[in-house]
Amino acid sequence: MEEPHRRKINDRQTGEAFFHCAAIVIPYLNSAELASISSTCKTLHNISTNVTSRRTSDASRGFEKLSVPFHNPIPGYPQPYSYFLYTPSQTLRATPDFRQPWGSDHDARPDPPYPFLFRVDGAAGCECTNGCGGDCCPCLNLECGPSCKCDSMCGNRATQCGVTVRLKIVKDDRKGWGLYAAELITAGRFICEYAGEVLPTKEARERQQNYDETARIERLSPALLVVKEHLPFGNTCMRMNIDATRIGNIARFINHSCDGGNLDTVIVRSSGALLPRVCFFAASDIQEDDELTFSYGDVALNADPRPCFCGASSCAGILPSEHT
């Protein structure tokens, strides 16, 4: 009788070890994988349900100081959140098999992100002690950067501390997910930067072509932002390609508005940083529950236009594209 009893104890210990490991591994699964494993047994279903609940409560995976929850008011819609990998600032192209845990009750808050993907080696920064950005500050007309002596609380680093206003991501039956204010946001407040993979133009065009082809077959909401800035010297145009389709931040949910929207898009340069950053500020007071929007660019006809549902009186009926 002792051997069967010992076998039962070993089986129970093995099962407990398995489910303990499962609770660690499951947060690394994407939405489809999570749904698949959820159907295998009651315990894994419960673990998966808890992971889904925590994902729904914070799209930022703990990278931001304030959580950004998903809200889906559409009855019968199967997915309560949108799955993507999170980066609070610019990042290099990630390998296809790169994963992040999302939804574990054991997740520790990530280390504060470094906001500068590329820096200028040997660049001088300010050594201000009584406030930066003044007439005598070398960072005049720039934000303080990686070589400056001031800390992250410096008033001249307004865009480097992540999300400091309450936001939420809400599902719309026509536009899909959108970013909304969860409190009154006064004019001039920093909202977030547009974060994602910084790509060379050739790869950006190849990805956009692939996204266009995929969108014809399945539901896909690409979030590849192309920013073109005419520089003041010569006939020069700087182009930045930031792809937040797979890896990005909450800015990937900001929808287009044909009337320009309620956000200002600002190219922010920092002392000692090689690349500028694309940042959003409130163009006017934004009321709680208002959607945050900006203009993706001028609208021009192309071979396969996507419909626009912004609802503005000046709506062109189609979304801008990279060809414009």
Checking if the pLDDT of 180 tops 60, the result is yes
Q: Is the torsion defined by CA of 103, 104, 106, 107 positive or negative? A: negative
Residue 20, H or E segment: helix 2-25
pLDDT for 234 = 66
Checking if the pLDDT of 134 tops 80, the result is no
pLDDT for 290 = 97
pLDDT for 61 = 93
Smallest CA-to-CA distance from 190 within 115, 86, 266, 116 is with 266
Distance CA 184, CA 186 (A): 6
State both tokens at 138.
């070398």
Distance CA 7, CA 212 (A): 57
Contact of 26 with 48, CB cutoff 8 Å = yes
**Mean pLDDT of the residues in the chain:** 85
Axis-axis angle for helices 42-57, 31-38 (nearest 10): 150
User: What would the pLDDT profile of 193-250 be if each residue is shown by its tens digit?
Assistant: 999 999 999 999 999 888 887 766 666 678 999 988 777 776 778 889 999 999 999 9
One-letter identity of residue 119: R
**Burial state string for 95-112 with b = 16 or more CB within 10 A and e = fewer than 16:** eeeeebbbbbeeeeeeee
Checking if the pLDDT of 185 tops 70, the result is yes
pLDDT for 11 = 44
Strand 167-172's sheet: what is its strand order?
Answer: 70-71, 167-172, 176-181
Distance CA 246, CA 244 (A): 6
Residue-range domains of the chain with CATH: 1-57 (no CATH), 62-324 (2.170.270.10)
User: What would the pLDDT profile of 257-299 be if each residue is shown by its tens digit?
Assistant: 999 999 999 999 998 888 899 999 999 999 999 999 999 887 7
